[in-house]
Chains A and B, each alone.
Chain A
Amino acid sequence: MASAIKVKDSLFGQKQTKMLMDLLVYVVLSIVGVIFIMPFAWMVANSFKDLRGIYKFPPEFVPEVWHFENYTEAWTATHFDIGFLNSALVAAAVVLGQVITASLAGYSFARLRYPGRDKIFLLYISLMMVPFTVLLIPLYIQMRAFGWVSTLQAVILPFLFTPWGTFMMRQFMVTIPRELEDAARIDGCGFFRTYWLIILPLTKPALATLAIFTFVNTWNSYQWPLIVLAKPKVKTLPLLLASFQNQSAMRTPWHLIMAASTFVVVPVLIAFVVGQKYYVRGIVTTGIKGGG
């Protein structure tokens, strides 16, 4: 009897401790959350101020007067319209290209048997870890030789294939049960039809992961475009955003820069929120992150 009460007591205590701990964790998570979100909030808040409001001291968080015209002004200040088009075109082409080449080669590596297959695959894996820094100079000289400097080919064609994407596809396709394919083959499907009708539909999650990763990486890519895209007509958004802040006026137009940053960041944020599930899975299974 007494021990039963004791157990009940301690259970009650445990529950309370858990609630207290939860509360504590919530508080900590929220504080950290505010730190993480603050730069974004600061960016958006200031994109609505005027220049005077920006340099005001002490700074105020909510603008006194909301200047929505900052966005149209920033949009027309440099060629952001062309930049958006370029970025969208490059991202779409690279995503489509990688999905096609990686899934085709992944199927080839995973399922078809031919001499040299495993050796080629090993070569792919061993070159996967070569840092992009090493490729910058030789690739640039190649682009010059091809006459591709300051053309969109230079930021599209070298990225239409991906060793790690191919690797991911292969690893995924290996896990698909062979029986499904055998059935299709017996029904008279050729290799391409098997790939198209059986393998591809089953590979959708991995394809989605590859697509969203590639989109975010291509949209954010800075170093390589900085090197090969010199003419304003072909510049992508990150380049324009970076050069926008260096066109020094008397006082840096931070309000316009913040407006521009906002509309450059928003598409990736949307892509992430929509495809978060696939993105997270990609990171957890392959450990590849953005950049480069």
Chain B
Amino acid sequence: MAANLASTVGNQRPKRSAIAEFKRAFTGLRRGETIAGYLFLAPNFIGFIIFLLFPICFAFFIMLTDWSLAKPPAFVGLENFETMANDRLFWKSLGNSFYYTFVAVPTGIFIAFWLALALNRKMRGIIFFRTIYFLPQITLTVAAATIWRWIYQPEIGMINHMLDWFGIDGPKWIHDTKWAMPSVIIMSNWQGIGFAMLILLAGLQGIPEEYYEAASIDGASGWQRMRYVTLPMLTPALFFVVVTSLIGAFQSFDQFFVLTQGGPAHATTPLTLYIFQNAFTFFKMGYGAALASVVFVIILIITVVQWRLARRWVIGFDNDDE
């Protein structure tokens, strides 16, 4: 995306001094356009400054303070980060965030891939199935988690009841430290798979039919067409899904808050929930902001690493630059 942007943004004219250009823009024929440009941008830009640019800068200050909101902030330098290094719960929640992200995303994409393949066949009723798979995605997570909390009930829940048909004694799901995280992951994938499925489906539909015809003429088997046509052609869509899903998963909050409240015994407290608890239950604004900066850095790293790796496996990735 960034590569595309560079080319869309950068139709630069020969360099003139900024001030001279600014003056020119306000005189003569272009005056009207300049004023209109700023006016059209103004409502958006004011919101941008007050509710995005300023809070981001403000966050850098907050993370260097001890601030309970009851008293004025006390500047403590990097103390919050020292606290963090020795905070067992921070490491635990960081681990939980990674556990959740790196299990939920690959399993979700794996299932979404097969669903997209199935939906890409020329058959009747595909849109019907597509709609059904997508419904959970737009359902509010609070309601979805509420339903699932009940489905997971050890005694009266649906899952254990169905397992009972096969003579399996189901686990205690969200009440068991071992099973709580898998429970959240199953629910999240139920809810989120529609997103990955849609993008992969669009990717599949974008593969020209001729490629398959050519492969068939060359005598490629079904498996070979999959391996040498479908998969390579799908890599851009896969890349897109992987990056956005990883970023989204790392920021998940609602399902944890409603389904498990982070328990039992912090087994499902991700970093986002730990930040929330510190800031809005214990009113440690400084520590909360310091923790939030970790989320930011990790998301940044995930994104950069993915972009770097993309050159190795995404077809046509470098061509975007032209």
Contacts and interface: CB of A to CB of B under 8 A. Distances in A.
A206 B141 CA distance: 26
Contact of B123 (A22, A115, A220): A22
Interface stretch (A28-36, A62-70, A78-86): A28-36
Q: Chain B binding site: helix, strand, loop or mixed by DSSP?
A: helix
Contact of B9 (A122, A141, A265, A280): A122
Nearest to A159: B51
A112 B33 contact: yes
Contacts of A135: 52, 55-56, 59
Given A131-B251, A136-B276, A264-B143, 16 more contacts: A36-B190, A37-B135, A54-B156, A108-B41, A120-B45, A127-B52, A131-B247, A131-B296, A132-B251, A134-B292, A136-B292, A222-B254, A269-B138, A283-B195, A287-B241, A289-B137
Given A33-B133, A105-B41, A269-B139, A292 B53 contact: no
Contacts, number: 284
A268 B52 contact: no
B299 interface: yes
Interface in B227-257: 240-241, 244, 247-248, 250-254, 257
A163 B48 contact: yes
Given A22-B123, A157-B51, A241-B146, A133 B272 contact: yes
B177 interface: no
B301 interface: no
A105 B36 CA distance: 11
A95 interface: no
B138 A272 contact: yes
B146 to A, nearest CB: 5
Interface of A: 21-22, 25-26, 28-29, 32-33, 35-40, 42-43, 46, 54-55, 57-59, 100-102, 104-105, 107-109, 112-115, 117-118, 120-125, 127, 129-142, 144, 157-161, 163, 166, 171, 174, 190-192, 195, 216, 219-220, 222-223, 226-227, 237-238, 241-242, 245, 254, 257-258, 261, 264-265, 268-269, 271-273, 276, 279-280, 283-284, 287-292
Interface of B: 2, 5, 8-10, 18, 21-22, 25, 30, 32-34, 36-38, 40-41, 43-48, 50-56, 58-59, 62, 69, 115, 118-119, 121, 123, 125, 129, 131-144, 146-151, 155-156, 158, 161, 164, 190, 192, 195, 198-199, 202, 240-241, 244, 247-248, 250-254, 257-258, 272, 275-276, 279-280, 285, 288-289, 292-293, 295-296, 299-300, 303
B140 A219 contact: yes
A220 to B, nearest CB: 4
A268 B138 contact: yes
A222 B259 CA distance: 13
Contacts of A101: 43-44, 47
Nearest to A118: B9
Contacts of B32: 191
29 contacts: A29-B129, A39-B147, A40-B147, A42-B151, A42-B158, A57-B156, A104-B40, A105-B41, A115-B25, A127-B52, A134-B292, A134-B296, A138-B56, A139-B55, A142-B55, A144-B69, A157-B51, A160-B47, A161-B43, A161-B44, A161-B46, A163-B48, A191-B32, A216-B138, A222-B140, A226-B257, A287-B199, A288-B244, A289-B248
Contacts of A35: 190
Give the top 7 A-B pairs by smallest Cβ distance, nearest first: A161-B47, A105-B44, A112-B37, A220-B140, A108-B40, A138-B55, A114-B37
B131 A273 contact: yes
Given A28-B118, A100-B43, A124 B48 contact: yes
